[in-house]
Structure 1
């Protein structure tokens, strides 16, 4: 398992799980928790992570976790909300003056934000925020996208964590 980056006070990593399927093939799931201090650091962490992820580029796999950033898609119809978020305590770390890079970087690398595909903008996974913030993501490789049937945020888990879980339904090829 590679260390993604130790650019901040907390070390961050990339966890790889290879799940053995009944037919003897494996399905890979990657989980990460990116830095919460700045978009530039998160972009560096994802560039490093993709050097590891490239091994699965032609196989179906998922990359998921707390990305500690927001998607530009969530605010495309209402950019003033993004400015409001940047003005609150946690806002500058999530979507400050820096251009949002992490989610667009994943999409440019060919990954699909599954909630974007099945959900609605301005959803909430980070509960302490007074504004709706989605900082938890599930990205599918291009090879997996045709097999995904749903993706949603689970509000019934409120109170367990300060984040709501995101889940996806899929069939494995």
Structure 2
């Protein structure tokens, strides 16, 4: 069995608005509850916090796992990707695509306990929600580039996984936008008066970041919506129709299997925001050959008594894959035995 986790740990695992305290214990509690062999980490570092050891280093040590960093981000002051594994590492690659990919695509090949080679890709697509349809176009461009990078390994039929924070809904998925709005309004109120961190990225989006500039005059109205059940229902419907889904559609059309949806066709599986889950934007995609070995896939709501919302603003997503069956020689038929 090979256990995989995809986890956006939020701002490098730091509580920026709480004097930069760390969430090492909470994150490790979530991870230890599923005993992963591989962890793809999004927002693995915080560019404005340089203290050593970093939270990601502490997590690696606590979990007894090797750490592979995903290279420098495409834009200064941005977060990095990382991968943790307890399996032997066979090869690592970083695929920078300045101007196309929001973060360099991280590729790590490991050897499963069965001896099978498994290649894992970790990504973090553009958010840019304030750009509306423009943000969706950015993510579509990223996915097309990722598919181009994955094409050779896909053509060879080699087992591989693509996981991370895709900042996108899947076709057919529901979206409880009013819950997201409720969480943003609550966080906005919490931030008021905390001037020390006004220009210090805490990784949590604001209403200004989510709402496109032409529509920001509606923000006072948006703050009222969560108070009304009727307005919330209408807002959920409108947001579901508006939310871009094409980037996930491209992956599905290319043959990749949405592991969670394969195991839970009707479960929402919301992963973000963890404090009031409204949508599923964290995914583990498997190549068709590997998807045949999929045992389970689900978000981690709690681990060792720690709520997922205490560890990050995203719930971690975990999947497990059975070992590849050994190929046994075909027993000769009676006729073949006689001839032999």
Pairwise TM-score range, normalised by the shorter structure? 0.7 to 0.9
Contact 1:110 1:141 in 2 (8 A): yes
For 2:272 and 2:105, locate their aligned partners in 1 and report how far apart those are by CA, in whole Å. 21
Pick aligned residue for 1:168 from 301, 305, 319:
319
- Say which structure, 1 or 2, has more relative contact order (CA 8 Å, 6+ apart): 2
Residues 98-137 of structure 1: pairs in structure 2 closer than 5 A = 99-119=244-264, 120-127=266-273, 130=276, 132-137=278-283
Structure 2 SS opposite 1:144:
helix
Structure 2 partner of 1:61: 160
Runs of 4+ deviating beyond 3 Å: 4-8, 21-25, 81-99, 128-131
* Higher percent of residues as helix: 2
For 1:113 and 1:141, locate their aligned partners in 2 and report how far apart those are by CA, in whole Å. 9
**TM-score normalised over the length of structure 1:** 0.81
Structure 1 partner of 2:25: none
Q: 1:166 to 1:148 in 2, by over 3 A?
A: same
Contact 1:112 1:140 in 2 (8 A): yes
Is residue 48 of structure 2 the alignment partner of residue 48 of structure 1? Answer: no
**TM-score normalised over the length of structure 2:** 0.43
Residue by residue over 1:45-70, the C-alpha shift from the partner in whole angstroms, topping out at 9 and shown as x without a partner, is: 01111111112211111100000011
What is the aligned residue count?
Answer: 166
For 2:111 and 2:243, locate their aligned partners in 1 and report how far apart those are by CA, in whole Å. 41
Shift, 1:161, TM fit: 0.8
Is residue 96 of structure 2 the alignment partner of residue 3 of structure 1? Answer: yes
**Could you say what the CA RMSD is over the residues aligned between the two structures, in angstroms?**
2.9
Q: 1:172 to 1:55 in 2, by over 3 A?
A: farther
Structure 2 partner of 1:16: 107
